[in-house]
């Protein structure tokens, strides 16, 4: 027994040393965890775009309302700035539009057009209604976004664009204008159920106008399209029946980063970044955003005069590189009023077209 005593004492001493070494580690586990790492600051481009649009920043996101459209900005894991906007009305036929993968050889389940089908994929609840919704301005705007590698993704109530990292701020602004343009034209056809005599008269007059222009109204709704050399006109009676809206999807883009908006319809954030051209009448009537050099080059004297003539007829005017939109001051009474507006819009496009100039797309 005695000869085992040193060994037992040595074992007790060793156990005590081990307990002394383990206890601090266990006690350390009871200490409060270190503070979390601070969130990375949002990219400067996102901050600049949020300020330009008048959005509220919250960490790495920004949100708010621009021209009656809910808009949000954030970044994804690849460092892209993701822009999203809520559509004012839910689409009835489209489930999803997304970019086609470069190695995707499959035939489109729902064919829209050769250019559209090469760049984008459509999933639809109703093939017929989806094709109607993509006719004219909406389909052209989505195709343009795809060609500019903005990866458009349209769902029944939301549009998203993704801007690759490293793009300059003016390209982000251009993407934001495309986002708002898509949200603006993505509403479904107007469906009305007239009850009052005035409403019935307005609808009857609109149907006569469509017939006189040899156009067929889309069903359901009060919309029709006209194709002319300058582009595709989409005409629709406003849901209030108090005005008509005409969207001209341009056959050829007139610019890359340029928007022109009637001053009374431009949000405050756009007005704060207005590019003045030194033409007092035009500068008072319109807000110009985008690349200042391009604005000066494209908005020559004849283009400014054509836009002023369109605006002076009482119409609300909005122009971006691929779309000219006009909302009348009241419901049109006959096809002569519509033809006058179409001719005025065609003169704007002609005046904006750069003779022998470079293509708008990069």
Residue 5 above 60 pLDDT? Answer: no
> Per-residue DSSP letters for 103-127?
T--PPPSS---HHHHHHEEEEES-H
Compute the distance between CA of residue 255 and CA of residue 361 in angstroms, rounded to an integer: 8
Calculate what percentage of the chain has a pLDDT beyond 70: 78
Greatest Cα pair distance, the chain, in angstroms, is: 123
pLDDT of res. 6: 52
pLDDT band at 238 (very low <50, low <70, confident <90, very high): confident
Stated pTM of the model:
0.61
Domains assigned to the chain: 44-185 (3.30.1460), 197-352 (3.30.1460)
CA quadruple 57, 164, 295, 289: dihedral, nearest 10: -20
Confidence band (pLDDT; 50, 70, 90) for 306? very high
Contact between 82 and 73 (Cβ < 8 Å): yes
Q: Of 23-37, 97-111, 246-260, which range is least confident?
A: 23-37
Q: Which two tokens stand for residue 335?
A: 């096809």
């Amino acid at each position: 027994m005695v000869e085992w005593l040193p060994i037992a004492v040595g074992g007790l001493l060793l156990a005590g040393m081990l307990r002394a070494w383990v206890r601090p580690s266990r006690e350390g586990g009871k200490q409060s965890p270190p503070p979390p790492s601070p969130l990375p600051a949002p990219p400067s481009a996102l901050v600049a775009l949020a300020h330009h649009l008048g959005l509220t920043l919250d960490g790495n996101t920004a949100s708010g309302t621009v021209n009656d459209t809910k808009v949000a900005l954030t970044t994804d894991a690849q460092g892209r700035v993701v822009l999203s906007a809520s559509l004012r009305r839910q689409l009835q036929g489209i489930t999803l539009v997304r970019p086609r993968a470069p190695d995707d050889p499959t035939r489109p389940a729902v064919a829209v057009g050769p250019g559209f089908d090469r760049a984008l994929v459509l999933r639809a609840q109703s093939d017929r209604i989806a094709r109607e919704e993509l006719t004219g301005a909406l389909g052209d705007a989505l195709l343009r976004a795809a060609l500019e590698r903005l990866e458009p993704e349209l769902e029944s109530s939301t549009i998203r664009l993704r801007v690759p990292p490293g793009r300059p701020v003016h390209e982000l602004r251009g993407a934001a204008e495309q986002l708002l343009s898509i949200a603006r034209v993505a509403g479904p056809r107007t469906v009305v159920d007239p009850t009052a005599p005035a409403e019935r008269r307005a609808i009857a007059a609109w149907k006569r106008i469509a017939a006189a222009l040899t156009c067929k109204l889309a069903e359901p709704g009060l919309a029709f399209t006209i194709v002319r050399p300058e582009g595709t006109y989409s005409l629709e009676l406003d849901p209030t029946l108090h005005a008509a809206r005409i969207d001209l999807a341009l056959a050829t883009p007139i610019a890359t980063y340029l928007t022109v908006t009637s001053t009374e319809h431009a949000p405050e954030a756009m007005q704060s970044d207005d590019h003045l051209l030194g033409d007092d009448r035009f500068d008072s009537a319109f807000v110009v955003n985008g690349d200042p050099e391009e604005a000066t080059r494209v908005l020559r004297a004849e283009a400014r005069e054509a836009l002023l003539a369109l605006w002076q007829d009482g119409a609300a005017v909005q122009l971006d590189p691929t779309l000219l939109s006009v909302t009348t001051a009241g419901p049109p009474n006959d096809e002569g009023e519509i033809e006058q507006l179409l001719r005025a819009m065609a003169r704007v496009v002609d005046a904006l077209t750069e003779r022998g100039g470079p293509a708008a797309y990069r």
